[in-house]
Amino acid sequence: HKIGEIDDNEWNAISVAPDKKSLEAYKSDFPQGKHIEECDNLLSDLPWLLCKQQNTIQAYQSYKANYPNKHDKECDDAINILNDDKDWNDAVTTGTTSAYRNYLTAHPNGKHASEAHRRIQSSAGHDAFIRELLRDPNSHDAKEIRTAIENNVVSTADISQIFGIEGANAIAQYQKPSDLPGNNDPDKLSPKLQSDSTEVYFWGYRGSGKTCALGSIISSLKRKGRLEQLDCNGYDYMTRLSNIFTTENVCTLPPGTENANVQEMIMNVSDDKRGKHKITLVDLAGELIEIAYAKIHPDSSFVFMDDDFKSLDKVLDYLKDDRNNKIHFFVVEYDSHRRMVGPNGEYRIEDLLANMIMLLKNNNVFRKTTVGVYVLITKSDKIQASDEEIPQIAGKYLTEKFPTFWTNLSDACNNAGIGDLRTIAFSVGRVFAKNLCFFNDKYTKKVTDKFIIKTYGDGNSFWAKLMKFFRS
């Protein structure tokens, strides 16, 4: 019994890596041993034993060539297993969808086949997500991008390559901003706007970028020390807007204004000579343009409350008051002409804008106190052209894609003798992930210059006195 145990132990040690010397030693020690037949078989086929010990594709191919029809199937099986691992390692190193597909073509039932299928599916989702962001940086919002990272659809490194490290960090840290202060109760609006001020009205449909434009203008004035906020109903709203774009790094875009929101913001804007220009900036929620459509077309599908119509009527009352000069900015988003709005998406934006102009015209809003009418074409950073070409392209876009609106506006200005009707290309900077942007205030100067030119300061300059004389 003891000899048999020693026999087994020695054979087990040899069988791990048998060779000619160890096999012959076993035969010498145990000529009648329990494993002598296995030992003889191995000794009779030493080339195959050596081939298996080498366990390489080249070794098996060489054995088949030198000893045909002897261990062909075992060689083929071994070569396939070795190729399976090699091809899989190559596919993993390449890391592309096509590489994993090539692996499956060679090894449809390979030991890594299930993992290859999983990676193909994951890689396809990764590639599609990256393509969408490269085509349109706003195809996914910050929250969606974060979710894609958490689910390993894309990596932080992928996002950094697209938006830079600063952009990727902003996406990782993004939090939805709180709602802006609201004022949609018409009974809380001022009965009349303050006098001795130039009224500046900002009109825009929902999603036109109007709030972002206002935020960038007011923030820019504050950063440059040219903004003095005065007491008014919209003071809190003005303060929030002035703190949105506080840096030329990545900024979080503000939320849209609430239904029928009307904000009256009174401020002094300083010019280059420290003269102060008093402005009442009136921000009008995008819903007011829809309310205007429902007012003229009572059979439309829009549904509004009585207070909504009262808010619009209050704004019309402001506009009919001739105590102050007035400036109008109509905000139109570049590349928005195909967008449909309404409860069922049945109305073109242009129809709502054109209707708004007709309502203003019918209420004799465009009159001698109107000193300027401008169309801000927001998101003009989408235009792939030089800085010199962008204004012309933006203006052409408006006249070609919103012809009825532009014609109605031009006719209204001509009939009222308003000579300063212009389009202004505008952008807050490079917007990405829908909620963020690399802020650039170079476009704001075009707007603030209009504030200065169309108003008079409180100084004693010749032009200030002349403006006051003609106005009185």
Q: Identify which of 1-15, 36-50, 339-353 has the greatest average pLDDT.
A: 339-353
> What are the angstrom distances between the C-alpha of 408 and each of 26, 70, 377, 412?
107, 93, 17, 6
Question: Is residue 309 packed enough to be buried (19+ CB in 10 Å), middle (13-18) or exposed (0-12)?
Answer: middle
249 touches 438 (CB < 8 A): yes
Is the predicted pLDDT of residue 468 greater than 60, yes or no? no
Q: How far is 117 from 109, CA to CA, in rounded Å?
A: 11
Angle at 447 between CA 372 and CA 363, to 5 degrees: 30
DSSP 244: T
Q: 203, 194, 185: which is closest to 231 by C-alpha?
A: 194
pLDDT tens digits, one per residue of 253-282: 988 765 678 999 999 999 888 889 999 999
Percentage of residues of the chain with pLDDT beyond 90:
56
Place 457 in a pLDDT band, splitting at 50, 70 and 90. low
Give the H/E segment covering residue 87. helix 72-94
Q: How far is 424 from 377, CA to CA, in rounded Å?
A: 6
Three-state DSSP class for 200?
Answer: strand
Q: 336, 363, 364, 360: which is closest to 350 by C-alpha?
A: 336
Q: What is the pLDDT of residue 292?
A: 96
Q: Which residue has the higher pLDDT, 1 or 223?
A: 223
Query: Backbone phi, then psi, for 210, in 5-degree steps?
Result: -65, -45
pLDDT tens digits, one per residue of 55-81: 888 888 888 888 888 888 888 888 888
Q: How far is 374 from 357, CA to CA, in rounded Å?
A: 13
Query: pTM of the prediction?
Result: 0.73
Percentage of residues of the chain with pLDDT beyond 70:
94
Q: How far is 277 from 457, CA to CA, in rounded Å?
A: 5
Q: Which residues contact 79 (CB under 8 A, 6 or more apart)?
A: 57, 60, 61
pLDDT, average across residues 388-393 = 95
Q: What is the mean pLDDT of the chain?
A: 88
Q: What is the pLDDT of residue 162?
A: 96
> What are the angstrom distances between the C-alpha of 424 and each of 147, 211, 335?
38, 16, 15
pLDDT, average across residues 395-417 = 96
Q: 301, 304, 397, 405: which is closest to 359 by C-alpha?
A: 405
Strand blocks (E) in 245-325? 250-252, 262-270, 276-284
Is the predicted pLDDT of residue 460 greater than 50, yes or no? no
